[in-house]
Chain A
Amino acid sequence: EVQLLESGGGLVQPGGSLRLSCAASGFTFSTYAMTWVRQAPGKGLEWVSAISGSGGSTYYADSVKGRFTISRDNSKNTLYLQMNSLRAEDTAVYYCAKPTVPTTADAFDIWGQGTMVTVSS
């Protein structure tokens, strides 16, 4: 069964840092580009960042560029999101998502359960 399991969320003060992880199973992780999507409480979905299967190409939303870093460890089948200089507006559930085919620009057929990040003093 194809699964994604996020972890690492929690409460952090403004200006702080947090690293999210997404453990993948049930598919050949290294061949798929992967994406992070977030959803603020009561709001819609927001695309955050994506990374190619090899990790050589990364993409960011303007709202997180320069503060967040996406990476992956294909030997561990794990996707990461390092979040620095966190702001209140980064408060959201963070999902990792897998595309239907091994490219960046495709729909997401598998989503994790999400991990909550709360930025507050």
Chain B
Amino acid sequence: SYELTQPPSVSVSPGQTASITCSGDKLGDKYACWYQQKPGQSPVLVIYQDNKRPSGIPERFSGSNSGNTATLTISGTQAMDEADYYCQAWDSSRGVFGGGTKLTVL
């Protein structure tokens, strides 16, 4: 079965750039999306179709996808961005989520 791999944790200082990767076989041939989830809340879509931002998502969130890796980049990271982030793609009509990355802003 298809798998997506994320680093368990990423740390960033306020105002700096955070990058979270998501790896999967030929992931660049699929669309990747990213969700942000804060404790006790439902996930929120922050990037879809590799690099599109839904309405209401700040411009500091961006995405890319090529080869075997999709990347979520948060520029000028703020304390409010501290959360779990999940990548997701589709394979054979079935959804696949990465294991999630805890972003710490310190």
Contact = CB atoms under 8 A, between A and B. Distances in A.
Contact of B33 (A59, A95, A107, A113): A107
B100 A45 contact: yes
Interface size bracket, B side: 20 to 34
B42 A107 contact: no
Interface in A1-58: 35, 37, 44-47, 50, 57
Nearest to A95: B42
Given A100-B54, A114-B42, A107 B97 contact: no
Nearest to B94: A59
A107 B1 contact: no
Given A45-B100, A112-B42, A113-B42, A107 B88 contact: yes
B95 A44 contact: no
Contacts of A62: 1
Contacts of B33: 107
Interface stretch (B11-19, B43-51, B65-73, B74-82): B43-51
Interface string A98-119: 0010001111110111100000
B90 to A, nearest CB: 4
A61 interface: yes
B28 interface: no
Q: Is the interface of B mostly helix, strand, loop or mixed?
A: strand
Interface in B15-33: 31, 33
B48 A45 contact: no
A44 B99 contact: yes
Contact of A109 (B45, B90, B94): B45
Nearest to B34: A107
A111 B93 contact: no
Contact of B49 (A44, A45, A95, A107): A107
B45 A45 contact: no
Interface centre among B42, B44, B93, B97 (most CB of A within 10 A): B42
B83 interface: no
Nearest to B33: A107
